[in-house]
Structure 1
Amino acid sequence: MENTPLYTALRNFAAKTPLRMHMPGHKGKPLPNFPLEELAALDFTELPPTGNLFDGGGAIGEAEALWAEAFHMDSCLFLTGGSTQGVLAALTLACKPGDTVLLDRGSHRSAYNALALLDLKPVYLERPWLEEAGVTGPISPERVEEMLKAHPGSKAFCLTSPTYYGVLSDLPALAEVVHRHGAILVVDGAHGAHLPFLGDYGQRAADLLVVSAHKTLPAPGQTALLFSNGAFSHAELRRAASLYGSSSPSYAMMAALDLCRAHILEGGAAAYHQTAEQVARLRRRFPALTQQSAPLDPTRLTLLSPDGYRAQRALEERNVWPEMADGGHVVLIPTCADGPADFARLETALEQIQLGPCPGYPPPPPPPEMALSPRQALFAPRRALPLEQAVGHISAGQVAPYPPGVPVIAPGEVVDKKSIAYLKQIGYNTLEDVSVAVLCEAASAPEFRHL
């Protein structure tokens, strides 16, 4: 077969047997009890024997209920649009258009898109900076209490736990504060689908929890899960998620979710405990974030380096492919699919590269001034400008290094010199111009400087 550029590129790369220290969690190994030759045979549409995801019940509903039981939650909905679909659905449930929402500034860009789509008014909560680690730390309940008192109309608090670097926040303590103020706790736990199989990390405290099975479990790309602990019914989950997902979700993906849970409960969890042991050993041997810095996902390996990008390139030259890097870190995602041979191969590579203390990595600057609402900015007429020429203009999109996809400048904020200096310092990983609202031709005009 000729002229298949994407397929050919993927096959050629896979043939090099790369050590995949990135998502998806299956690491290119066979999915549990799911030979690919069965894919076409299982690829159905909505029929009486197969059921309908957004109608509820049937075999799909039974499979979702088993996931809810595994997470100790009241209900679960399968997602085939990744955690992005789940975050959009969760904020749709938690808020009405025009509501105020307290948002972790370290949220994924999907949460910022939800602000625009739902016309929500954000109040941003900045995370504390861990100087020696060079990453943001967990969110304190005391800080959330302060913010909710200052903004008593907030309908929800949305945060990320664990972060891309593996930092965990105390969800039960945060839930107590949030509920005391009559708000909903929404947790983007995209990188924490494996945590309930390693212990109790408090995820059941969330009113709404989103996790990506494909990021850390043996499941195919885009498979994710939306959980409710009783604040919202399964019917409400289906209604909200159907707004952002295909009306013809992949049955093969949903079947893979069913098989993934069964696999983890029948032995995969033991493999994950072994992965956690291997990661703990590597943390002791190589410079890395540890529990002394902050509460961490026991399987996320965030290495420290004087030059994270150089360390990433050095690993890639040895056919070891990290998830991401920044100026002082290299992030690896070991999962239950990584066995002793994989860890031996990783350890050999790490012995050959330069690792060491994080070089005074800078904290993110304070959020720039907000001049338009996220909705006004994202849907405004726009034009592209080089980053340095965008100073004083209003961003019409997210300026967000990816990964991790956390905006430095959010839609509606004024592009300032501090943010540009920070983006340069961290090696902003795009050559694309910045989208700015055409309204900002008169950026000094009062009507465009304040909401």
Structure 2
Amino acid sequence: MLRRNFGCGAGFGAPRTACRSAVGRGQAPALQLTSKNFCCNNILTFQKALQTKTEVTTMSDTNFYDSLTAFAASGPLRMCMPGHKGRRMPMEEWDALAPLDFTELPPTGNLYGGDDWLEDSQRLWAWDWGMNAAFYATGGSTQGMFTLLNLFTRPGDTVLIDRVSHKSIHHALSLFDLRPVWLERPWDAENAVTGPLTGEILEGTFERYPDAKAVMVTSPTYYGVLSNLDELARICHAHGAKLLVDGAHGAHLPLVLEQEPNCLLGYNPYKIVDGVTVSAHKTLPAPGQTAVVFANGVRLEALKTASALTSTTSPSYAMLAALDKLRPWMHEGKGSYRRVAAWCADLRRAYPCLRRENLDPCRLVFQVEDGYQLEADLQKFGIYPEMADNCHVVCILTAADTERDFLRLKRALNYLGLKNKVPYISELPAPPIPEQAMTPRQAQFAPKEKIRLRDAVGRVAGNVIAPYPPGVPVAAPGEVITEKIRAYLYDLCYDENSVILIVKD
């Protein structure tokens, strides 16, 4: 049994009992059950169901999930939301989850409250990842990035933004009235992808914009490219700025990266950044929309407050329970991800794939002459990749993939004649960075009109213009659409009749 001291210091990451007794003495806080006016029909049954729970937190503890199942089994009369009352729903596949789908009640806890097992569940995530605070986001990493920008910036702040950022970041710029300065990554022409964001680029940008309050970086990218976040964090902190990371595609990385372990799970590449959000649902066995937001230097209460502005007041308890169960599974899932990484490496060697340094070991990216055609051909075999572009097809590999799945993929690739083919070298240039004519917020709330792309040169984008996936804007709100921008959109999946939204003259 593992005894823990939660967090990196008194008050950080500690569950409710830790601040009173355990922090600073190397002892694990006890998890104490209190009735707290439980409004269930059979409180004695409910309490009896929890009597066997250990008082010392362990890696395998799922106290929040266990409390929900015990409360559901106690037969409460639900005179509250949700409307299915824990019983059957028209979509019968959801029936098994219905009993755990509660609203905020004294026995179930409150995501925005405290002093309960739901809060302890989040603190265990922070402890496992070696960070100060963790918060469950049931609105995916979009909610997570909104939370971090709301927490660490103020309206009018200058923020250095990775140009390959997801379109949700651009929406956040409008919402929080931030002034973006774009960080242009080096272009890997041979592979037609952007390379890692370098410390040299970041340092040079700080020299021109020394008042920048935060830096927003995406790592890994949709294509699996990883940046050196330790280096970027040191530069940010030297300039008094916060490093925030969109790690939506990196929830599995502590289980698969080979570096020296720096947390209980393994090597956490985000450990010294100021904030990061990871989408559990993208690369771990978790339901859609589940994500976790991590931060350093702040308490859980700060994440709750920052998240409340842009998140639902009715989070799915089934999703929250899934995250509680997922955390101990991750300690057991390392072997599965290592096997998947080995299979991925085998495929990269045998087929035309993106092969470069600084890649997510579980991201398989085919590099061919026509990515859209390969995607369509694979779909004829019943194989559905994550996305395609002109010369890439992206497949997300996880612990859910089996050896049989990989053999099925290999058979399709062999049939298509791709075995031992060399990766295609594209002539696609780096995406141009447009001129900013107005702030993102000004453009977002300005009067707009729809026009054809052929007529858009010289006009100002009224919303994000981005192929999705990956959702990386070619033009963002407030940016001028030039001949180069239009030509680049034509090179992607747009044509002259594509309808876009622009700011009215």
Moved more, 422-431 or 275-284: 422-431
Which residue does 2:437 correspond to in 1? 371
- Among 257, 281, 302, the residue aligned to 1:214: 281
Q: Which residue of 2 aligns with 1:287?
A: 352
Whole-Å separation in 2 of the counterparts to 1:279 and 1:339: 12
List aligned pairs for 1:5-20, cutoff 5 A.
none
1:322 paired residue number: 385
Measure how far apart 1:232 and its partner are: 2.0
| Letter matched to residue 361 of structure 2 | P
CA contact (8 A) 1:328 1:361 kept: no
> 1:264 Cα deviation (Å)?
2.1
- Deviation per CA, 1:408-436: give whole Å up to 9, x if none: 00100011110110111122399751111
Q: Provide the C-alpha distance between the structure 2 equivalents of 1:343 and 1:363, rounded to a whole number of angstroms.
A: 32
Paired residues of 1:89 and 1:240 also in contact (CA < 8 A): yes
Residue in 2 that maps onto 1:384: 450
Q: In the aligned structure 2, how far is the partner of 1:206 from the partner of 1:234?
A: 16
- Per-residue CA shift, 1:276-314, capped at 9, x if unaligned? 111011111111112xx2301000001111111111111
The answer for the alignment partner of 2:212 in structure 1 is 154
Is 1:142–2:172 an aligned residue pair? no
Partner deviation per Cα, 1:338-371 (whole Å, 9 max, x = no partner): 0111111111111122544334242333211111
Structure 2 counterpart SS, 1:360: coil
Kindly tell me: are residues 383 and 195 of structure 1, through their superposed partners in 2, closer, same or farther at Cα, counting changes over 3 Å? same
1:15 matched to which residue of 2? none
Distance across 1 between alignment mates of 2:153 and 2:181: 14
- The one-letter code sitting in structure 2 at the alignment partner of 1:423 is L
- Partners of 2:403 and 2:369 lie apart in 1 by 28
Q: Deviations over 1:141-161 (max 9, x none)?
A: 111011011101100000100
Q: Distance in 1 between matches of 2:424 and 2:303?
A: 42
Q: Which of these residues, 247, 257, 274, is aligned with residue 339 of structure 2? A: 274
From the superposition, tell whether residues 368 and 162 of structure 1 become closer, same or farther in structure 2 (CA, over 3 Å): same
1:27 is matched with which residue?
A: none
Alignment root-mean-square deviation, CA: 1.6
Deviates more, 1:85-94 or 1:426-435: 426-435
Aligned-partner Cα distance in 2 for 1:372–1:354: 49
Query: Deviation per CA, 1:114-149, whole angstroms, max 9, x where unpaired?
Result: 110011000001111011111000000111011011
- The answer for the alignment partner of 1:396 in structure 2 is 462
Alignment partner of 1:99 out of 157, 161, 164:
157
CA distance in 2, matches of 1:64, 1:269: 21
- The 3 A distance-change label for structure 1 pair 431 and 333 is farther
Distance 1:51 1:315 in 2: 45
Report what 2:33 is aligned to: none
- The answer (yes or no) to whether the contact 1:165–1:300 under 8 Å persists in 2 is yes
- Asked which structure has the greater RCO (Cα within 8 Å, sep 6+), the reply is 1
**2:105 is matched with which residue?**
47
Q: Partner residue of 2:237?
A: 179
2:128 corresponds to which of 70, 86, 96: 70
Q: How many residues align?
A: 402
Q: Does 1:118 align with 2:176?
A: yes
Residue aligning to 1:227: 294
Structure 2 counterpart of 1:402, one-letter code: Y
The answer for the alignment partner of 1:337 in structure 2 is: 400
8 Å CA contact 1:409–1:419 kept in 2: the answer is yes
8 Å CA contact 2:453–2:496 kept in 1: the answer is no
Contact 2:206 2:239 in 1 (8 A): yes
Q: Residues of 2 paired with 1:305 and 1:201: CA distance?
A: 32
Does the residue aligned with 1:280 lie in a helix, a strand or coil?
Answer: helix
Is 62-71 or 313-322 further displaced after alignment? 62-71
The one of 364, 369, 373 aligned to 1:301: 364
TM-score, normalised to structure 2, is 0.78
Higher helix share: 1
Q: 1:190 to 1:232 in 2, by over 3 A?
A: same
Q: Which amino acid in 1 is paired with 2:273?
A: A
Q: How much has 1:390 moved relative to structure 2?
A: 1.1
* Structure 2 contact 453–497 (Cα < 8 Å) conserved: no
User: Contact between 2:132 and 2:298, CA under 8 Å: does it hold in 1?
Assistant: no
* Partner Cα distance (1:371, 1:309) in 2: 34
1:422 lines up with 2:488 in the alignment = yes
